[in-house]
Amino acid sequence: MAVRVRVLYFGTAREAVGRREEELYLDGAPSVGDLVALSLRSHAALRAIASSMRLAVNEELAGEDERLADGDVVAFLPPVAGG
């Protein structure tokens, strides 16, 4: 019954976590906020910069309340600096 989520880390988030991506499993009907909390539990270095991050679900910006489904891709997006 667990929901499997692929989590992507970019920029400073990638450096803090030490990898580009991982898979996390959550029970019930998890939200983006639940996923963030789970990730922060295992990545202490990410906590310091977490408040500056925004999240994307399946390549679209998403709020903390958005529900996750099995197979969703969640990305941690630090402040951007393209151009």
Partner 1 sequence: MAGRRAPHLRAGRIDPGEALRGAASRKGGAVALFLGTVRDNGKAGKVRSIEYEAYAAMAEKVLARTEAEVRRRWPGTAGVRILHRVGRVRVGEVSVAIAVSSPHRAEAFEACRFAIEAIKHDAPIWKRERLAGGKDVWVGGVPIGSAREGGGR
User: 37: which 2 tokens?
Assistant: 């909390």
> What string marks each residue from 19 to 58 as x (binds partner 1 by CB under 8 A) or -?
---------------------------------x-x-x--
Contact flag: residue 81 with partner 1 (CB under 8 A): yes
Segment holding 61, helix H or strand E: strand 60-62
Residue 3 CA: distances (Å) to CA of 23, 75, 77: 10, 16, 22
Q: Which is nearer to partner 1, 30 or 78 (CB)?
A: 78
CB of 27 to partner 1, least distance (A): 27
**Structural contact between residues 27 and 1, judged by C-beta atoms closer than 8 angstroms:** yes
CB of 46 to partner 1, least distance (A): 15
